[in-house]
């Protein structure tokens, strides 16, 4: 019986890397970020709803959502963030559910790649939750380096989510990403082996 696994983490914990590794192991990935972009793509009903709430300035010269403009508004006005979520979330869930059902019918294990899984209370929509974990201090360091942010801005982004240590206590399985990419790969493969998704290779068993 195929499983539906919710993959989550915190900002800059390395979830995208784990998602790619899982895809290489034959899991089918349903990505919330991709679905979010599809929900407001050019010419979509979602984009017209965004225009109605945020005005014509929310649409750029290419007829797509101006993410920077909308992002600035929702970051500073929580009530506008709620309005945006009320537009996007139902469409995203519909897109993701269609994909999930298609993959399950084909007999695949499905990864629901959802960055804000706990924040949006979606843990009951999956069979298990797998968390990509790193320490808060590493999150901040990686974010400063990756996005060229000040420490203050990096902390603000990290603290806008449920803390990674609280998420760790809420998850069914934890994939440790505090060290190198090789360590991460080995930690993930250890979990896949323990859960029966892959078999131990002859090389591993004789070493």
Percentages helix, strand, coil for the chain, rounded to the nearest 5?
55, 10, 30
Range 91-102 burial, b when 16+ CB lie within 10 A, else e: bbbebbeebbee
Q: Measured in whole angstroms, how far is the alpha carbon of residue 27 from the centre of its chain?
A: 15
17 among annotated binding-site residues: yes
206 among annotated binding-site residues: no
CB 107 within 8 A of CB 26: no
19 among annotated binding-site residues: no
16 among annotated binding-site residues: yes
DSSP conformation letters of 55-91: -GGGB-TTSSB-HHHHHHHHHH-HHHHHHHHHHHHHH
- Residue numbering of the annotated binding site for ATP: 12-17
Residue positions forming the annotated binding site: 12-17
């Amino acid at each position: 019986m195929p499983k539906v696994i919710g993959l989550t983490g915190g900002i800059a914990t390395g979830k995208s890397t784990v998602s790619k590794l899982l895809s290489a192991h034959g899991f089918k990935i349903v990505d919330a970020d991709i679905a979010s972009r599809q929900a407001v793509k050019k010419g979509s009903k979602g984009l017209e709803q965004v225009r109605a709430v945020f005005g014509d300035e929310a649409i750029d010269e290419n007829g797509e959502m101006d993410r920077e403009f909308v992002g600035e508004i929702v970051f500073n006005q929580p009530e506008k963030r709620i309005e945006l979520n009320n537009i996007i979330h139902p469409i995203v869930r519909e897109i993701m559910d269609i994909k999930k059902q298609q993959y399950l019918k084909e007999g695949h294990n499905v990864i629901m790649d959802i960055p804000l899984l706990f924040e949006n209370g979606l843990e009951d929509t999956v069979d298990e939750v797998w968390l990509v974990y790193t320490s808060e201090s590493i999150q901040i360091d990686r974010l400063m380096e990756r996005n060229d942010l000040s420490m203050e801005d990096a902390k603000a982004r990290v603290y806008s989510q449920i803390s990674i240590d609280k998420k760790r206590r809420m998850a069914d399985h934890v994939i440790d990403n505090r060290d190198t990419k090789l360590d991460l790969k080995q930690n993930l493969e250890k979990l896949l082996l323990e859960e029966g998704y892959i078999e131990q290779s002859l090389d591993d068993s004789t070493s």
